[in-house]
């Protein structure tokens, strides 16, 4: 799609290129017609939202901005027929389905005759300026990363130092450990915070599309290239580029990325003129890049250039004390979102959650809590509210392991609610085998009466029935 070049006249001796001028503004800018349909958007808004002008042209702004303000407090409607400027704080959702805080400012545009011709809207990312709730464990956090283990404390001490430099950072760790959050925290606490933060998933697109997405292309560079595309590096100018899953980057693009790291110039596909992109490089991977180098799947020289500073995020199972902290954090967060009065976890549910190994790390824990909060109707998260697959794992869980996560009060509660000899929790037994013995012992003492057995275990009758079926005791 070709757009006519607009010019500003009589400001200087020569006319100015309006589109280029607006592109240099560090805030997201939208130009709307009288029907609130998009006529133009600048490079900063494209980086913020993921929408290009060709994709957004002629679309109603609410379908591109995707903000709560568009539904409940539309600035244009609030403006009426006046000429005042309206500003509000709200949110927006980008193409990566990320929701974040923004400040939206809207003003009318008038033609030379003083008649309203459209609207100009600026969108400012204010994530970095938002204060955090005191209840969100501020004492154990950096930006929006939560943790109090010794490993996380070291990372919290390192991040502010790295944020103030401009060196390339490589973030490693298993899937779900929070690499994206660390990359965003580095950007938001750096001097580039007012610039764009642009993320590229190197494993999400085929090689041909990935090269165009990263470096851009010129019109006619390949079949279907009907317009110039700036590419993510150019969109990240004066900000941070985040390459996640860098281990999935094809070798041919590794060479081109290495060239950029050497001279900081981007050459789009089909173009001969380069663009000097001032960006900070942050990369992340769950793969072992050193092993990939030995196998010839990753360039050694590129690894050296990316690995100027490295942050390794430990898996959740090795972060002592963080599991309980994160459970409470996400419970509080989702309970507030859904306006539910949930005070905590039952001891049975807590035992299951603290004994689980979380192969998906924080992302899996977060999803489990979100699911439980959605389906619970009472003041506590019970074991019945947890995903069924949690009961299929049989982790080795000792009594000392359980008690290491609990407060003194909770230790007393679990002894009252579960009157079982501690010998049932010896290290040599799995939690599943110990729980089966607990149920059998309770049934024997209750002479087969399930109501009495459930009461002695501190469970509901439905919980006992489900666990009997799980352990095939009903057969």
300 and 333 in a single domain? The answer is no
Q: Tell whether 412 is covered by a domain.
A: no
Task: Specify the 3-state DSSP secondary structure of 104.
Answer: strand
Q: Tell whether 248 is covered by a domain.
A: yes
CATH number (domain holding residue 452): 1.10.10.60
Residue 415's pLDDT is what? 40
Residue 134's pLDDT is what? 37
**Calpha distance 143→189 (Å, rounded):** 8
**How many structural domains is the chain composed of?**
4
389 and 435 in a single domain? The answer is no
Q: CA–CA distance from 433 to each of 396, 424, 425, 436 (Å)?
A: 10, 9, 9, 5
19 and 115 in a single domain? The answer is yes
Q: Tell whether 409 is covered by a domain.
A: no
Closest residue by Cα to residue 29 from 7, 53, 55: 53
Q: Which of 290, 314, 338 is the last residue of a domain?
A: 314
Residue 407's pLDDT is what? 47
Residue 431's pLDDT is what? 61
Q: Tell whether 206 is covered by a domain.
A: yes
Q: Tell whether 363 is covered by a domain.
A: yes
Residue 419's pLDDT is what? 37
Residue 372's pLDDT is what? 93
Structure tokens at 151: 């490993």
CATH number (domain holding residue 46): 3.30.450.20
Q: Tell whether 411 is covered by a domain.
A: no
Per-residue pLDDT of the chain (475 residues; tens, 9 = 90+): 555 557 666 667 777 777 777 887 888 899 999 999 999 998 888 888 888 888 888 999 989 988 888 888 788 887 777 667 888 888 898 887 888 888 898 888 888 888 888 999 999 888 766 544 434 444 566 777 888 888 998 999 899 899 988 999 999 999 999 999 999 999 988 888 888 899 999 888 887 788 888 888 888 777 777 777 888 888 888 899 999 999 999 998 999 999 999 888 888 888 778 888 899 999 999 999 999 999 999 999 999 999 999 999 999 999 988 999 999 999 998 999 888 999 899 988 888 898 888 999 999 999 999 999 999 988 999 988 998 888 765 443 444 444 444 444 444 444 433 433 333 333 334 566 777 788 888 888 888 888 888 777 777 676 777 778 777 786 5
- Global pTM reads 0.64
| Sign, CA torsion 222/224/227/232 | negative
Residue 392's pLDDT is what? 67
Using alpha carbons only, what angle is made at residue 9 by residues 5 and 12, rounded to the nearest 5 degrees?
A: 120
Q: Which of 351, 382, 404 is the last residue of a domain?
A: 404
């Amino acid at each position: 799609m070709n757009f006519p070049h607009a010019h500003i006249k009589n400001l200087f001796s020569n006319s100015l290129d309006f589109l280029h001028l607006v592109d240099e503004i560090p805030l997201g800018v939208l130009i709307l017609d009288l029907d609130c349909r998009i006529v133009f958007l600048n490079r900063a808004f494209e980086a913020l939202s993921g929408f290009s002008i060709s994709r957004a042209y002629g679309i109603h702004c609410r379908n591109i901005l995707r903000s709560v303000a568009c539904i409940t407090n539309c600035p244009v409607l609030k403006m009426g027929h006046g000429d005042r400027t309206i500003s509000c704080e709200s949110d927006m959702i980008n193409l990566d389905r990320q929701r974040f805080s923004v400040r939206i400012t809207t003003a009318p545009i008038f033609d030379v005759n003083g008649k309203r011709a459209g609207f100009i809207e600026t969108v400012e990312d204010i994530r970095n300026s938002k204060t955090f709730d005191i209840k969100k464990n501020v004492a154990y956090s950096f930006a929006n990363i939560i943790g109090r283990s010794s490993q996380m404390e070291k990372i919290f001490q390192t991040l502010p130092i790295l944020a103030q430099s401009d060196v390339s950072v490589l973030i490693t760790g298993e899937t779900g450990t929070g690499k994206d959050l660390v990359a965003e925290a580095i950007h938001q606490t750096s001097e580039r915070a007012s610039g764009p933060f642009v993320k590229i998933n190197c494993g999400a697109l085929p090689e041909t599309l990935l090269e165009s997405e990263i470096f851009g292309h010129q019109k006619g560079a390949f079949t279907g290239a009907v317009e110039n595309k700036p590419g993510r590096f150019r969109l990240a100018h004066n900000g941070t580029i985040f390459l996640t899953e860098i281990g999935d980057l094809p070798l041919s693009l590794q060479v081109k990325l290495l060239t950029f790291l050497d001279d900081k110039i981007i050459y789009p596909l089909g173009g001969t003129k380069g663009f000097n992109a001032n960006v900070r490089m942050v990369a992340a991977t769950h793969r072992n890049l050193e092993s990939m180098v030995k196998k010839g799947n990753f360039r050694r020289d590129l690894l050296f250039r990316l690995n100027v500073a490295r942050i390794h995020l430990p898996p959740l199972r090795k972060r002592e004390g963080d599991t309980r902290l994160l459970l409470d954090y996400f419970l509080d967060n989702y309970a507030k979102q859904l306006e539910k009065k949930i005070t905590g976890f039952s001891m049975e549910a807590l035992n299951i959650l603290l004994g689980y190994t979380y192969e998906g790390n924080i992302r899996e824990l977060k999803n489990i809590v979100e699911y439980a909060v959605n389906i619970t109707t009472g003041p506590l998260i019970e074991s019945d509210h947890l995903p069924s697959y949690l009961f299929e794992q049989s982790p080795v869980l000792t009594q000392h392991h359980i008690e290491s996560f609990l407060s003194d009060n909770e230790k007393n509660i679990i002894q009252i609610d579960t009157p079982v000899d501690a010998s049932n929790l010896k290290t040599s037994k799995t939690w599943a085998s110990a729980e089966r013995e607990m149920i059998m012992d309770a049934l024997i003492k209750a002479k087969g009466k399930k109501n009495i057995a459930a009461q002695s275990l501190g469970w509901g009758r439905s919980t006992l029935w489900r666990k009997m079926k799980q352990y095939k005791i009903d057969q």
